[in-house]
Amino acid sequence: MKELPKAFDPKLIEKKWASFWERGGYFRANPHSDKKPYSIVIPPPNVTGVLHMGHALVDTLQDILIRWKRMLGFEVLWVPGTDHAGIATQTVVERKLYKKTGKRRKDFDREEFLSYVWDWKEECEEQIIGQIKKLGCSCDWSRLRFTMDEGCNRAVRTVFKKMFDEGLIYRGDYLVNWDPVTQTALSDDEVEHEEQDSFLWHIRYPIVGGGHVVVATTRPETMLGDTAVAVHPKDERYARFIGKTIELPLTGRTIPIIGDAFVDPSFGSGVVKITPAHDFNDFEVARRNDLPMINIMTPDGKVLISGYAGMTMEEARKAVLRDLGEQVLKKEPHKLRVGVSYRSKAIIQPYLSKQWFIHMGPFKAKLISAVKQGRVRLIPPHWEQTYFHWIENLRDWCISRQLWWGHRIPIWHKGEEMICYDGEGSPPGIDASWTQDPDVLDTWFSSALWPFSTMGFPEKTDELKKFYPTSVLVTGHDILFFWVARMIMMGEYVMHEVPFHETFLHGLIYGKSYWRESAHGIAYVGPEEKRKYDLGEPCPKDVESKWEKMSKTKGNVIDPLELIDTYGTDAMRLALCSSVTHARQIDLDLRRFEEYKNFANKVWNGARFVLMNLEGFQFDEGLESKLLTLEDKWILSLLTRTTEEINQCLQEYTFDRAATRAYEFYWNDFCANYVELTKPFLFGKAGTPAIRANKQKLLVILLCNAIRLMHPISPFITEEIFAELKELIGHTNVKKADAYTQETLEALRSPACIVAPYPRPIGTVQEKVEELFAQVNDIVRQVRNIRAEMQLAPSEKTELYVVGHPKDWKMIQENEMIVTSLTQTTQVTYSESEPTSFGASAHVHSLKLMIPIPESLKVREKVRLEKEREKLEKGLEGTKMKLSNEEFRSKAPAHVVEKLQEALKTAEKQLADIQEKLAQL
């Protein structure tokens, strides 16, 4: 007889099994294996700090799939790695260096600064990998990659040169999204948009030779760079002005009035200023009409035009409006959609600069057909509409960034000459007059190559042959275009195959924020107060709450490492898995972690019970089918059903249902019902020794199957229990084995649960057995309801009377053991007439279930009833006095008297009922 420790301590087993798995090489993939491949590349976390809940979620989901497929017999490869995260990492290191040395980036030479970034990367990556391992992730750590390692850099140079040589990459003066804080261009998808309150100013622009037009603008400061004024060519109000010249205020320049269909006659005055270097629409108008482009801004967002030089754009706006004076005719409130940098949160400025771009036009058709034709399946499918909308509105991809940290663009310049070189170092044969382009590539360029660069591209490796395309990508829906679409684009362009066949896009994690409002504004509650509300304590009236994106400011950030420390890794993984629906938002409720911590304890205690009650047990023969009772057949049917359902859930990425079904089977079906039903056979005199042995075998089979079903989600506790079962039973040889016994013993011969076969349905679902058990369980439920109504303690034993016609007793009589085992019933009495003294009753079909009041309850019940009688008698006395008062009856409204008479009758009936119950007691 084996006895597990009484309490489950996750900290004792997590390090032990993490080390065991890694030492044993269980995570390593073999590209020469003849097993069917299953591969995933990890969405690489940025080397900017520690992991957050988003990482914990996405890595847990991937590990669930990897462990499941490994147990199903696939050759699995999960490639781990980290991302250099250009702007984000450079910004972090710049701040750190400034705080430490007082120096800014440009106070260092490039190589010196980059040495500091590499040091940061090493430190940060080590921390991140340690955290991913703490989550239980079974990555092949021998294949750890970094988006700027030597292999990835070679892949980047190779693909860049291929695209350059094929005319897909070009350099030109182009209007870009400019971040004046980080001083670099951003692609469209790196810009977030928010609505802000602003104004629409109406400004008088004088026409040379007399007259004027009124221009409506939201950005008066950019008039310093105007090169035209435009009207719609069919606008009758202004058509006669086309071809005339404007004397541009404050500048001393003259600009033309042009006609362009871009102008909306209903917006403002119907006349707009054209500032090609600082507005995307104006840029296109200028290209159509061959207008000059005047840049008025420095890279750090300051104005460079004389008279306003050195001002910020906001300062320049005020100054321009002041200097225009009476030429500003009016201003009216206007909502603006403002672009904001997703990294620095600076307001984006359209800015004319030389940048490198990829022509996206040639890729649109394939990007659309990849999803429409099913080469890539987006899950959930409602994301297809968003995907198609983005692809259909593609602009050329700006791939250059004015940074030092990143893949440096492999172009060398000498005057107007250019060389693209994909080798290491400088191109052969050039002299010192050639210089490498100072810009680096957008981080997403190297990330787009991740599925094949991590497997050895540009070499034709065994890994690429075996594991590319990968099986699935799991990621948040917020980077569908940032990353997913670009990987599809690069996969088909470079490898002529999509990089993955399925993409599961999970929702984004939201935390609960709590705050108080006052005259001073909003004040978010502290962590201790927040935790009380998170765990279910009602908020006071002055505290408001809302599910919001996690933010340190709002105090709703949850640290995955703190959760692991508090609840254990298995509980955290179970809670995360159970939270993942196909919705766009995941509200991360802290109570769920409490719930699954309790579940982990239940798993432990259930296993402990089984292992402690195998005395005299031998697997010398398999299950005896003729000895199976109703509850045995029922639990085997549920095992088959649960096995089918969990496999199906994982196949369909319905992670929440997989976790919930595992929970329900283990807690409700196995522990709460089946284990309780075995106790009379294990401890009492029920059944025969052969039935007892049969139930012991079945307990082992059920436990072995249950922990393997749960292993992908909760690997540590299940590996520990598997090891205990293996030690006890793993070397048993059975002479005559049924399918359940044979499968269980084969599983326990595996070296560890991580590589044991994942359960597959053995028997069939027995609908009639489940229906019959449900009927018996309905009796159990009704008996429990009666006990609850009588307020009986869970441990208090009672009798049960079944009242009805003898022909209706059969179902209960045949399954009396189930009813008595699950309801603390000592004896069942069958009767055609009701007993004289009972506490409460319930009807089930044609039968009446009744529980007599136990002696212990009679005393308590008598005290309660006497108090109730005393209260009623006092009330009756007062009512009778009122009704016997003639003066009251003559003055009171009729409906008041009538109401009192009804209350008197009700109270008299209640009193009579109490008297009768007291008499029975």
pLDDT at 551 over 80: no
Pairing of strands 145-146, 81-82: parallel
CA distances from 307 to 204, 250, 323, 397, 629 (A): 21, 9, 11, 36, 95
Distance, CA of 512 to CA of 549 (rounded, Å): 9
pLDDT at 337 over 90: no
pLDDT at 500 over 90: yes
Query: What is the three-class DSSP state of 880?
Result: helix
Is residue 508 within 8 Å of residue 550, measured between CB atoms? no
Distance, CA of 686 to CA of 702 (rounded, Å): 21
List, in sequence order, every residue forming a beta bridge with 39; answer none if it has no partner: 77
pLDDT at 806: 86
The pTM score is 0.83
- For residue 2, name the pLDDT band (cuts at 50, 70, 90): low
pLDDT at 823: 85
Nearest partner of 640 among 665, 610, 619, judged by Cα = 665
Distance, CA of 119 to CA of 918 (rounded, Å): 84
Q: Given CA atoms 319, 324, 326, 330 in this order, what sign does their dihedral have?
A: negative
What are the strands, taking DSSP E only, across 478-580? 500-506, 508-518, 521-524, 544-549
Amino acid at 44: P
pLDDT at 213 over 60: yes
Is the model more confident about 725 or about 817?
725
pLDDT in tens, 604-636: 999 999 999 887 777 778 888 899 999 999 999
**Whole-number percent of the chain with pLDDT over 90:** 63
| Six token digits for residue 841 | 């009753």
| Six token digits for residue 782 | 């009704």
pLDDT at 83 over 80: yes
Dihedral pair phi/psi, residue 699, rounded to 5°: -60, -45
Q: What is the CA radius of gyration of the chain?
A: 38
pLDDT at 82 over 90: yes
The region of weakest confidence among 182-186, 537-541, 655-659 is 182-186
DSSP 834-869: --S--SEEEEETTEEEEEPPPHHHHHHHHHHHHHHH
DSSP 119-180: HHHHHHHHHHHHHHHHTT----GGG-EETTSHHHHHHHHHHHHHHHHTT-EEEEEEEEEEET
pLDDT at 300 over 60: yes
pLDDT at 809 over 90: no
Mean pLDDT, residues 268-273 taken together:
92
| Six token digits for residue 112 | 């010196």
Is residue 447 within 8 Å of residue 486, measured between CB atoms? yes
Pairing of strands 470-476, 440-441: unpaired
pLDDT at 189: 65
Mean pLDDT, residues 416-421 taken together:
94
Distance, CA of 260 to CA of 238 (rounded, Å): 12
Q: Is the bond preceding 469 in cis, omega lying within 30 degrees of 0?
A: yes
Residue whose structure tokens are 């049960």: 800
Mean pLDDT over the full length of the chain: 91
Distance, CA of 366 to CA of 391 (rounded, Å): 10
pLDDT at 646: 97
The region of weakest confidence among 8-12, 311-315, 340-344 is 340-344
Amino acid at 252: G
pLDDT at 419 over 60: yes
The region of weakest confidence among 189-203, 217-231, 469-483, 716-730 is 189-203
- For residue 904, name the pLDDT band (cuts at 50, 70, 90): confident
